[in-house]
Structure formats: C-alpha cells, structure tokens
C-alpha cells in the first residue's frame, strides 16, 4: 500500500502550549471567573493549583508565536476538566470555561487559519475522569446505571476516593481519578469517533493522541484514521509513543509519533555527561549514558530505518515536553548544549516542536516544575531566542532541510557531519560536541555541489576539489549552504 501523510506537517514547525501556563488574557472574564481562587502567576507551579492561562491569552500572543517562524500549535488538553493539565476530561464537547469556552477556540482557530497556522488538539480517549457524566452516573446508581458497561467494573462497591479500599474498576496507571473506557463496547467506540469528527468539523487540523498504546481493541485506531481522514484527508494524527512505534506507523493508523527516540539520542550526544541524571532517570526515555559521534550516527541510522520515509517526514520531533524536565535544566544550564540540540532538531527530517518557553531558556525540573508560566521578557535568554529564530528561518528557506534525504558524511569522536539533499539543493551540517577546536577533512565526492556559505554558526571551511576541510570551534556547529 502507498502510505500517505499530510503534506503540511513536513513543512511545519510546532509550538506546544500548556494552556493554563502560557498567557492570561486581560479580556474581561465571565462574571463567575472574576474572583477565581488562582495561584499567583509568578509563583512556582503546583500539582493542583491553577494559574488561569486561557485561549484568549494565546490569541493575544499569536504575533509573538508567528514571529518565531512557527506555523502550527499543539495544545495539551483544553476540554472541561477538574485538573490544571486537563487530562481528566469531564466533557469532550466543551472547551473548559476557564480557557474561554468553545467561543474562544472558535475565534482562535479562525485567527490562526487566517495566518496559515494549524491547530492540533490533545485527544484523551483512553480514560475519562470521575466527573465525566457517564462515570458519575455509575457512581450514583451502581449496577443500575445504563452506562455501567462503558467502564471496566470488577466488583462493588466502587471506591473512587478512598485509597484504603479496592477501587474495583480499571483506571489508567491505577490512578482512581482516571477511569478507563471499555473500548470493546461498540457505543464507547462510536462515542470517541464522534468526538474526533466533531472537532475536525469545528475546524481543528489534527489530533495528538494520549497513551494510545493502552487502547488494545482490534481495529480501533484503523477506524479512527478512516473517520478522521473522511472529514479532513489532511488532518494530522500523532500518537504519544515513547519507544519503537512500528506497530502504529504502518500507514493504517498514525501519521507519526512524538519522537522521543530522536530526543534521547540527541540529548545523549549534544549534552553528554553534563546531563542532570535525577531529571531523567524516572522518565520513560533514556537520554543517557553519553554518546560519541559514532554512537549517535548508529542511533540516528536505526531511527531512520524504523519507519517508511513518508512517515519519517511527519514525525513530531521534541527536545522537551510537558512530560519531561526542560532541556536547559537537563543540561544543567549549559547554553551550548541547548544550541547544539536545537541545531540537530531543526535540521532533522520530521516536524520540530518547541515546548513553550524553551525558546527563551525557561528552566524547569520534572512535573509540575516543567509547567511553569511563560516568563516575562525581562527573564528571556535573548541568545537562545535568536538561535531558535535563525534556525527556523533557515529551515523554512531550504526545502532540503524539510524533505531532503539525510546522509551522514562523518562521525568520529566528538564530530558529527551530515548532508540534507534535495535534487540540486545540498546543505552540510557539522557539529563538534567536544571542548576543543577540531579540524576534519571530508570526502564530499557524493555531493554535486560545494556548499561554502556559512548560513549558521561559525568555523572555517576550505574546499580542495571534492574534499572540504572544516575547522569547528568547541561546543558548536554550523550549517553550510
């Protein structure tokens, strides 16, 4: 079968927003939200406190987001929920009133589309919450509830709050507040498909799927794809899979996954032994132990061999997210590590994704600290911001960086060099993660051209016929075009 993925994703740069923490609008709030019990905006985030960020705030920041060169936004969940992260869904048809309700999403989608920006929402379809109407009915009416078979009930009575008693129902990761759907029930399946269709008809451009590996019902994700693509053939379906995702990337289910395999290899190489181990050891990815250039080349080769090329081009490539510590904290504040990681991110096949605030050097340890509010301009790191803007502009200017083939030219010790090639357009990207200036001589006979303009970074280049001599300063990289 011919695999088809949405063309726009191959040319997208995503910005991931955690809505409670990005921007709080000055727009007058509904009367019942005027005196909300909100945490101070600039206080450290807590597991249960709300900051009051909203979609109106995002709307007011679209100029800033667009100024980065971003053309797609992925929102963590926005539907009505009793948690600041909104992975506990109460109502899949209502945008949380604290975020501005359905009206705010309507205005935001229209404004984004007017700027040729896409909007992707988070679909939490494996589990709901204790406050979800159907589960609440089961809590009230027990075995008499019409919805009792929508969930996986083992015994009575249910204990949704008392940890000293057996919960007696399946919940995600054993967390009582997240009752798992019974996806084998045809009504549950249809309910979820209808939600997906409803918001696509509303105007969203795709779904990021939370823990999709936990839905084991045969044919579920195949039908999901058919229904989604039936509404919008260009809709993006991206799954949260942290490891080898071949099972879901056969062309019949997802267009891509959050590419933590790229993330862990890149951090292990570019950050190396500067990594703060306690920020990554408890997580589901392994950006350690440190890799040398040959080890990185081997990892990248294996990643690029895993999936069909059409799927590689629509992977969602991340350096950090709402589920990980932030890159600058993982790198113990080392700015060169951050710049090297981003150089590798923005020159890799697939859609790069920036976790809000990473582009200005926002720190953060593991959850909830990685979900801090977007900082005021006085706290931005202008050098990191400038690096992001430069790299995004170069990526947008050169199709080879988006859809060109990826060819490793050199990988020894601390130096990794590769080319991105699209017909006659050829770029060379060179990275030196070491602490000393390195000179390398490359055989570039496989290239048609001799890229000799430094588009990014610094270093010296000397071409001699089909060979190039690169002199790369320590902890730096460059792009030649």
Positions marked active-site: 210, 240
Distance CA 111, CA 107 (A): 6
Strand stretches in 240-306, DSSP E: 256-257
From the number of C-beta atoms within 10 Å of its C-beta (0-12, 13-18, 19+), residue 67 rates as exposed
CA distances from residue 402 to 73, 320, 351, 399 in whole angstroms, order as listed: 18, 20, 8, 5
Distance CA 399, CA 202 (A): 31
109: CB partners within 8 A, 6+ apart: 119, 202, 203, 204
What's the chain's length in residues? 481
> Which single residue is written with the structure tokens 């006979």?
445
Token pair in block for residue 387: 């690096």
CA distances from residue 15 to 11, 42, 51, 124, 351 in whole angstroms, order as listed: 13, 22, 20, 19, 10
From the CA atom positions of the chain, what is the Rg in Å? 23
Distance CA 192, CA 227 (A): 11
Strand stretches in 148-228, DSSP E: 206-209
Distance CA 353, CA 334 (A): 20
CA distances from residue 454 to 241, 248, 335, 404, 405 in whole angstroms, order as listed: 36, 39, 21, 19, 20
247: CB partners within 8 A, 6+ apart: none
What SS3 state is found at 165? coil
Distance CA 427, CA 204 (A): 34
CA distances from residue 269 to 53, 243, 431 in whole angstroms, order as listed: 35, 18, 10
Sign of the torsion angle spanned by Cα atoms 5, 396, 299, 365: negative
**Helix axis angle, 186-202 relative to 220-231, nearest 10°?**
30
């Amino acid at each position: 079968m011919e695999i088809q993925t949405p063309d726009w994703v191959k040319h997208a740069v995503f910005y991931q927003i955690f809505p409670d923490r990005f921007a709080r609008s000055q727009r007058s709030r509904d009367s019942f939200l005027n005196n909300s019990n909100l945490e101070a905006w600039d206080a450290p985030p807590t597991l249960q406190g709300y900051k009051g960020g909203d979609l109106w705030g995002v709307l007011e920041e679209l100029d800033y987001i667009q100024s980065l060169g971003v053309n797609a936004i992925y929102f963590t969940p926005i539907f009505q929920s009793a948690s600041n992260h909104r992975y506990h869904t109460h109502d899949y048809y209502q945008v949380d009133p604290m975020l501005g309700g359905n009206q705010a999403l309507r205005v935001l989608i229209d404004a984004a589309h007017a700027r040729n920006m896409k909007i992707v929402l988070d679909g939490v379809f494996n589990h709901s919450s204790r406050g979800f109407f159907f589960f609440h009915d089961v809590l009230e009416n027990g075995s008499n509830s019409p919805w009792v078979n929508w969930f996986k009930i083992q015994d009575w009575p249910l204990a949704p709050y008392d940890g000293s008693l057996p919960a007696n129902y399946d919940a995600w990761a054993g967390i009582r507040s997240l009752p798992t759907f019974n996806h084998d029930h045809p009504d549950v399946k249809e309910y979820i498909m209808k939600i997906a269709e409803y918001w696509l008809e509303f105007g969203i451009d795709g779904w990021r799927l939370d823990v999709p590996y936990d839905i084991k019902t045969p044919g579920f994700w195949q039908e999901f794809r058919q229904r989604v693509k039936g509404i919008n053939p260009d809709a993006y379906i991206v799954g949260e899979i942290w490891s080898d995702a071949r099972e879901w990337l056969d062309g019949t289910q997802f267009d891509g996954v959050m590419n933590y395999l790229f993330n862990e290899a890149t951090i292990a190489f570019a950050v190396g032994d500067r990594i703060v181990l306690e920020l990554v050891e408890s997580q589901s990815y392994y950006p350690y132990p440190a890799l040398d250039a040959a080890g990185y080349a081997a990892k990248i080769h294996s990643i690029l061999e895993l999936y069909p090329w059409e799927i590689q081009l629509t992977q969602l490539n991340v350096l950090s997210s709402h589920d990980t510590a932030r890159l600058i904290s993982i790198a113990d504040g080392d700015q060169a590590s951050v710049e090297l990681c981003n150089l590798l991110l923005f020159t890799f096949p697939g859609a790069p994704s920036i976790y809000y605030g990473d582009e200005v050097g926002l720190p953060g340890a593991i959850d909830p600290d990685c979900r801090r509010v977007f900082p005021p301009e006085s706290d931005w790191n202008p050098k990191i911001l400038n690096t992001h803007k430069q790299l995004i502009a170069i990526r947008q200017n050169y199709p080879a960086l988006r859809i060109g083939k990826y060819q490793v030219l050199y990988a020894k010790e601390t130096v990794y060099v590769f080319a991105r090639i699209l017909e006659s357009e050829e770029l060379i990207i060179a990275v030196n993660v070491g602490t000393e200036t390195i000179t390398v001589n490359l055989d570039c006979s496989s290239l048609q051209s001799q890229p000799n303009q430094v588009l990014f970074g610094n270093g010296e280049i000397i071409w001699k016929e089909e060979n190039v001599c690169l002199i790369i300063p320590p902890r730096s990289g460059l792009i030649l075009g």
